[in-house]
Structure formats: structure tokens, C-alpha cells
Amino acid sequence: MTSGDFSCEEKLMRECPELHKRYCNSLLASVRVLVNYRAVFPDYTDHSYLHTMNIINYCNRLIGENIYSMNCGEIYVLMMAAALHDTGMGISADDYREFLTENDFGVTITSDSAPDPNVIRDLHHELSGCFIRKYSMLFEIPDEFVYPIVQAARGHRRTDLYDANEYPKQYRAGGYVISLPYIAALIRLADELDISAERNISLDRNVSEVKNAYSISVWKLHSLIKDVILTNSRCIVLVDKNKLDSSDSAELSKWVEKLRTVADYTAGVIAERTSYSINKRIVAVEYV
């Protein structure tokens, strides 16, 4: 563990017990909701509560000294959005039809359409936003915090964090001023970092049991990566050289380049649109 471990949890518990209690009370509901992704994606890598905890752990490390400047509203939004950012992966058939009918996501469905895993995977960040909005009371989210949590959860992929309408620099909720671009950028980068083999350690299966072609490539990539380590200046991807073969190199290179792209993008958002800072890290691969 590093000095940044649990810094968000500890500050929220110490300085705002009421929001910390709401967060803790929401965890059981979020755990039960998140495991539903397996009904839609039986071959998928872990997207359960353990994944969300990894996201929060990475956020703690990315935040570093910024924790002293963050207010409790920002920490609450960060932790809730991280915990709920993948709830759209396991929505019910009724919610699937409702969310796609009521929102212009560019997908046409009928009243009896069954959930399409390809649509859900492609739009799960938007579906997560819809789910959080609809079931905010289940997670004890105060009304004034629903919007920033929805936006931060949606922001873990694709959304334009430079859009001042979607991600205002200073959003006011519950007496706090929340830097939405900063919160969303942290979650987006943390989500990209969570790709080591340890992520799937709780799943009782291995890549040989996976049948879906896309999932096979992702599982293989996860199995190759022993860890992703953050230092002040580097993001080190530790690759198991004993498992690596020539067929894996292209997929590994593609992911490393994607990580570099996301790291550069989120660093730019934080530098240009927030008062916070983030270390500029070189993404490096080491074979061990």
C-alpha cells in the first residue's frame, strides 16, 4: 500500500460523517446490482464491486496531494460515481427498453426487444447514467448530488470532458463546489489502468473457458499483465514474459497506446479545466 491508499475514504469519514454514511449504506445495493453484468456478459472480465474498488484505489493514488484541497462533496461524488459507473452493464430487459426508448442514443428498438449485449457494451456508460438517475433513492443519493454523480459515471468513457455544459468547472451541490472535469477525468484514467490479471482473481474461470472472440482477447491481455504500477513520473505496465507470445504483441501494443492516449487526454482536461494537477507520467512496459 502507498500513502495515498484510502485517503478519500478517511477524509470523508472524518470531515463529513453524513455523506460517508450514505456512501457506506449504498455499498450493499451496489454490490448486488453490479454482479448482474454476468447474466448479460458471462464471458466478460470482472465488472463487479471488486473492479469499482480498484478504480477508487487508483483514484486515491492519482489524487496524491490534491486530497488536501478536495472538499467532501467532490470526494462523495467521486466515490459514488466510481462505485456505480458500470451499473449499466447488467440492467434488466425492462430498463434496457425504457432507457433506449426515452433517450436518443442512436439505437432503434421495439417494445419487445431483448437486451443486445453489443448495444449494452457500447452504451453502458450512458445506461449507467440512466440507471443511477432512476434508482438514486436506492443508493441514498441526495437529489442535489444526482446530476454530478451521473455525469462523473458517464464520463468514464467517450463523453467530452471539455464540454462546459456537460462538465462545468464549478458545479454546486449540497453547499459544495464540485470540479466535475477533475472527478470524471480521474475515473476515466483509473478505469483504463485496471487491467491486470489480479482484476479477475475472483472469477472461477480462465481464458480457456471463454468463448466470445472479443472477450478472449481481453482475457488474454489481462492474464499477461501482472500489475500496473504508478510512480511520480511513470506508469509501469508489468508484463509476464513467460506468457507472452507473438500473437499477443499487437493487442498489448494497442492497449498501451490507448492508455497513453487516455492519460494525455485526462491530463489535458485537468490542466486546462480545473485548479487541480496530476503528474505527467510516461507509460512504460517492463517484461518480468
Give residue-wise pLDDT tens across range 258-288. Answer: 999 999 999 999 999 999 999 999 999 999 9
Q: What is the mean pLDDT of residues 185-211?
A: 74
DSSP 8-state assignment for residue 245: -
Distance in angstroms (rounded) separating the CA atoms of residues 121 and 269: 25
Q: Which three cell numbers stand for residue 83?
A: 462505485
Q: Is 144's pLDDT higher than 90?
A: yes
- Between 212 and 178, the more confident residue is 178
Residue 249: the pLDDT is 84
- SS3 (DSSP) at 237: strand
Q: Which amino acid is at 213?
A: A
Q: Is 99's pLDDT higher than 80?
A: yes
Distance in angstroms (rounded) separating the CA atoms of residues 255 and 260: 9
Predicted confidence band of residue 1 (pLDDT cuts 50, 70, 90): very low
Q: Is 39's pLDDT higher than 90?
A: no
Q: Is 9's pLDDT higher than 70?
A: yes
Q: What is the pTM of this model?
A: 0.93
Most confident of 130-144, 203-217, 246-260: 130-144
- SS3 (DSSP) at 263: helix
Residue whose C-alpha cell reads 487491467 in the numeric block:
195
Contacts of 34 (CB under 8 A, 6+ apart): 47, 48, 49, 51, 52, 86, 87, 89, 90
Distance in angstroms (rounded) separating the CA atoms of residues 282 and 132: 35
Q: Which three cell numbers stand for residue 169?
A: 468547472
